[in-house]
Structure 1
Amino acid sequence: MDNSSGPVLLLTLLLLQNTSSPKASTLPAGYGMAEPAAPGAGSSRNHSLVEYGLRPGEIAAASVVWGALWLISVLGNFLVCLVIHRSRRTQSTTNYFVVSLACADLVSSVGSAPLLLLQLSSGRWLLGSGVCRLGRYLQYLTPCVQTYVLLAIS
């Protein structure tokens, strides 16, 4: 089973890393972080996020890597489910647990990876608080499901 959401999440966290004390550290030239407008300034977007000042080349490189890992994850997990579903010989209790792991990884890949890529490319969250809560819920739910399934297998 292909479980590439871990390295992808790590890559995203490294790209979107924010320092805890912005005054104590300096950013290299071209990496300025723009603070959002003050609440009530006429804009209805979420004001709790800092816009990330990534260069277009960095965004393109991260998008290509992210997209390739996402495609590998989706295709690999889909093929695992398809092979176990189609072949009579592979339909065992253990393989049903493997299908469960593949489905949890598919939900993680399809449910949260495109949302994070959109946030990375735009520099801020564009989809509102409901989609934000749903994406965060999926990001916390799927590793827990995978852990419980691995515990059940063992």
Structure 2
Amino acid sequence: MDNSSGPVLLLTLLLLQNTSSPKASSPPAGYEMAEPPAPCTGPSRNHSLVEYGLRPGEITAASVVWGVLWLISVLGNFLVCLVIHRSRRTQSTTNYFVVSMACADLVSSVGSAPFLLLQLSSGRWMLGSGVCRLVRYIQYLTPGVQIYVLLAISVD
């Protein structure tokens, strides 16, 4: 048997493993299961608890990757808006649709990504119910805006 079939064999064994017994369905070593708190036990009305089960090194790596992608998104979309605004040649109907798409991406990037990164790094939502609702609203609003902009581009 060669070395490349080892991970495939391990994955096959894991998939065929009986997950109905409590011993087989326990998390891997190093990961802990967390019980959610009883409703109305915390100082906040927001009772959602997100447990990712990540180790500190994994949280750091995810935060760095998320931060770099966030920075690229913000800078890239800002530059698209700036170039189309500054250059007279690029001001066309189609490019205004592109600016609309970039603005929707900016709202999504600035309005939700930093808050979700904070939640990932701290393990819980720390900003209260109002900000939670605002971030959730932005998360639901921006994909709809992007879909409508793409529809308008295709109609145009």
Common fold by TM > 0.5: yes
**Once the two structures are aligned, what percentage of the paired residues are identical?**
85
Q: 1:50 to 1:85 in 2, by over 3 A?
A: closer
Q: CA offset at residue 40 of structure 1?
A: 4.7
Counterpart contact for 1:35–1:50, Cα < 8 Å: no
Q: What does residue range 90-101 of structure 1 map to in structure 2 within 5 Å?
A: 90-101=90-101
CA contact (8 A) 1:35 1:51 kept: no
2: CA distance, partners of 1:25 / 1:50: 20
Moved more, 80-89 or 23-32: 23-32
CA distance in 2, matches of 1:37, 1:44: 12
Give the equivalent residue in structure 1 for 2:13: none
Query: What is residue 120 of structure 2 aligned with on the other side?
Result: 120
Match of 1:52, SS state, is coil
RMSD of aligned C-alpha atoms?
Answer: 1.8
Q: CA deviation at 1:36?
A: 3.7
Alignment of 1:1-154 (within 5 A): 25-41=25-41, 43-45=42-44, 46-154=46-154
| 4+ long deviations beyond 4 Å | none
Change in CA separation of 1:40 and 1:136 when aligned onto 2, cut-off 3 Å: closer
**What amino acid maps onto 2:25 in structure 1?**
S
Which structure has more relative contact order (CA 8 Å, sep 6+)? It is 1
Q: Which runs of 5+ in 1 are unaligned?
A: 1-22
Q: Which segment drifts farther, 144-153 or 29-38?
A: 29-38
Q: Which runs of 5+ in 2 are unaligned?
A: 1-21
Contact 2:104 2:142 in 1 (8 A): yes
